[in-house]
Amino acid sequence: MQKFQLYINGQFEDGAAQFDSINPATGQVWAKMPEARTEQVNRAVQAAEKAFYASDWSALTASQRGKLLYKLADLIEKAAPRLAELETLDTGKIIRETSSQIAYVAEYYRYYAGLADKLEGSVVPVDKPDMQAWLIREPVGVVAAIVPWNSQLFLSAVKVGPALAAGCTIVLKASEEAPAPLLEFAKLIDEAGFPAGVVNIVTGFGAECGAVLSGHPAIAHVAFTGGPETAQHIVKNTANNLAKVSLELGGKSPFIVFADANLDSALNAQVAAIFAATGQSCVAGSRLLIEASIKDEFLRKLAERVQSIRVGLPEDMQTEYGPLCTLKQRQKIQQVVDASIVQGATLITGGNTPEGKGYYYPPTILDCSQTPQADSITTELFGPVLSVDVFYDETEAIQKANSTPYGLASGVFTNNLTRAHRMTKAIRAGIVWLNTYRAVSPLVPFGGYGLSGHGREGGIAAVLDYTTTKSVWLRTSDQPIDDPFVMR
């Protein structure tokens, strides 16, 4: 039985209480996790606030901050096998994905390390002959970063990396579902040599952890990834501190296939879009919009491909598909699938909770073309359920793609270049993948529209999001100010 600790002010400590963490592949308790409550959360924020002003952090040059991030990246790369093993144990994600993804996380920290000393100010050519003005970018302050269990090292990297590059300090809250990888990550922060309090890592539940953190008066920026319901609570909490908020929320992303597309490529991409990571991805391509003339052929091939997916233990490198993270999520998915079938959706494959240990659920395809308002096509399930609808022309494809309050990701498959450009412009989503899906890079911003949130993570703009602009005025004349009662 493994045991994990919180990381507050450069020290590892037990939580106010403990809670069990379940291995989703077996349904058995495998570790004890520390539960941070109000007092510990407050201490973590206070440590971050003190560290923000302390000379061993605030006096570092931007280049020195970058060197710390480079060292952290090297440590992540070295520790990737251990971190991947923990993520697989705690979340049920297959080891072949956690290994690849965590190794790539190091590149995110290297990217932000390189940006640390590129945050330049500017001189403003003001319209006053006896004045000079310039702008300085300064760190916004203490950041609260709140991440979900899925892809947690990646989703924390796009917050921690730019925040530290900008000179902020941070309290990182790991999800109470499967927090092991981020609690282990604290050891790398410690080893890299960041001053005490610059990064603090906690986990815990609702009112005594997340709400205390997001509403704390010392928090200047809340960066959250998760569901819209939780985001609404966070926004309300920030009425207490007027913190800046960036939100990366859910999606009900359309995956659009035109008849002229490379269907084999589209087929593989659709499998990746909805069945990789057992569908537990905010960018999951969970709505297949297929041109009517190729629907039957595409669904036949897709069903054949799905039935060949290798389901197994997540720690086996040959496994392509593992369990869901929680029993609660599996129960929700089954309820929505059952309701959709009652509403008129046709089950193509999957759709039934299997017997046996663990939280497995089969890859499921529902033909909703006769019931486009079925629950499965309107509800974000965060699981391996693909809802299928048809379109007859480009206009209808756009209308159906945008018929959702979400707007995170989308995929378009066509060999018509001009159509691809038209679709890119028309789709209301923060990401449009053309003839590919699920590609990411530290250089490219990531975020959505509508209920998928606001703000962007990744790219140069992400670092700027953790800064604020200071305007500096200098009067160059030696003459006395002529009229003190008139604004100059």
Residue spans of alpha helices (H) in 370-458? 375-378, 394-401, 417-426
Q: Give the model's pLDDT for residue 46.
A: 98
Give the residue-averaged pLDDT of 19-44. 97
Q: Say whether both 244 and 285 belong to one domain.
A: no
Q: Is 248 a catalytic residue?
A: yes
Provide mean pLDDT across the span 246-265: 96
Average of per-residue pLDDT across 137-166: 97
Q: Residue type for 90, please?
A: D
324 pLDDT more than 80: yes
Question: 259 and 205, same structural domain?
Answer: no
Per-residue pLDDT tens for 176-201? 999 999 999 999 999 999 999 999 99
pLDDT in tens, 231-244: 999 999 999 899 99
Q: Are residues 148 and 12 in the same domain?
A: yes
Q: In this predicted structure, what is the pLDDT of residue 1?
A: 83
Sheet (strand 122-124) strand order: 122-124, 131-139, 467-475
Helix 62-91 and helix 152-166, axial crossing angle in degrees, nearest 10: 170
Are 119 and 202 contained in the same domain? yes
Same domain? For 269 and 181 the reply is no
446 found inside a domain: no
> pLDDT averaged over the chain?
96
CATH number at residue 428: 3.40.309.10
Range of the domain at 225: 2-249+452-472
**Same domain as 177, residue 324:** no
Q: Are residues 458 and 362 in the same domain?
A: no
Single-letter amino acid, residue 412:
V
Tell me: do 243 and 283 sit in the same domain. Answer: no
Number of neighbouring beta carbons within 10 Å of residue 154: 19
* CA pair distance 105, 446, nearest whole angstrom: 15
Count helices and strands (H / E) in the chain. 15, 23
User: For 286-311, what is the mean pLDDT?
Assistant: 97
Q: Looking up tokens 């391996």, which residue turns up?
A: 384
d(CA 445, CA 465): 12
Q: Is the pLDDT of residue 487 over 90?
A: no
Say whether both 224 and 304 belong to one domain.
Answer: no
CATH number of the domain that 130 lies in?
A: 3.40.605.10
483 pLDDT band (50/70/90 cuts)? Answer: confident
Check: pTM over 0.75? Answer yes or no: yes
336 pLDDT above the threshold of 90: yes
Backbone angles phi, psi at 344, to 5 degrees: 120, 0
Give the pLDDT of residue 35.
98
State the catalytic residue, choosing from 248, 315, 380, 457.
248
Whether residue 447 lies inside any domain: the answer is no
Q: Is the predicted pLDDT of residue 378 greater than 90, yes or no?
A: yes
Q: Look up tokens 């002010």; give the residue.
A: 9
pLDDT greater at residue 137 or residue 484: 137
∠ at Cα 327 (322, 328), nearest 5°?
A: 130
Helix (H) or strand (E) holding 97: helix 95-115
Whether 240 and 258 share a structural domain: no
Q: Using DSSP, state whether 282 is helix, strand or coil.
A: coil
| Composition of the chain by helix, strand, coil, percent to 5 | 40, 25, 35
Cα separation, 150 vs 195, in Å, equals 28
Residue at 439: amino acid letter: A
Exposure of 37 in the CB half-sphere (CA atoms within 13 A): 6
Helix (H) or strand (E) holding 307: helix 295-307
Question: Three-state SS for 335?
Answer: helix
305: exposed, middle or buried (C-beta count within 10 Å: 0-12, 13-18, 19+)?
middle
Q: What are 409-446's pLDDT values in tens digits?
A: 999 999 999 999 999 999 999 999 999 999 999 999 99
- Contact between residue 95 and residue 85 where contact means Cβ atoms under 8 Å apart: yes
Q: What is the pLDDT of residue 219?
A: 98
The predicted model gives 204-220 an average pLDDT of: 96
Confidence at residue 488, expressed as pLDDT on a 0 to 100 scale: 76
Residue 372 predicted with pLDDT over 90: no
Is residue 450 within 8 A of residue 228, CB to CB? The reply is no
Same domain, 342 and 460: no
Q: Is residue 343 part of a domain?
A: yes
- Number of domains, the chain: 2
Of 431, 320, 449, 450, nearest to 384 by C-alpha is: 320
| 206 and 278 part of one domain | no
Instruction: Please tell me the total number of residues recorded for the chain in this structure.
Output: 488
pLDDT tens per residue across span 379-403 = 999 999 999 999 999 999 999 999 9
Strand ranges, E, within 293-384 = 346-349, 364-367
For residue 284, give the nearest of 296, 276, 294 by alpha carbon. 276
Q: Is residue 336, in this structure, part of any structural domain at all?
A: yes
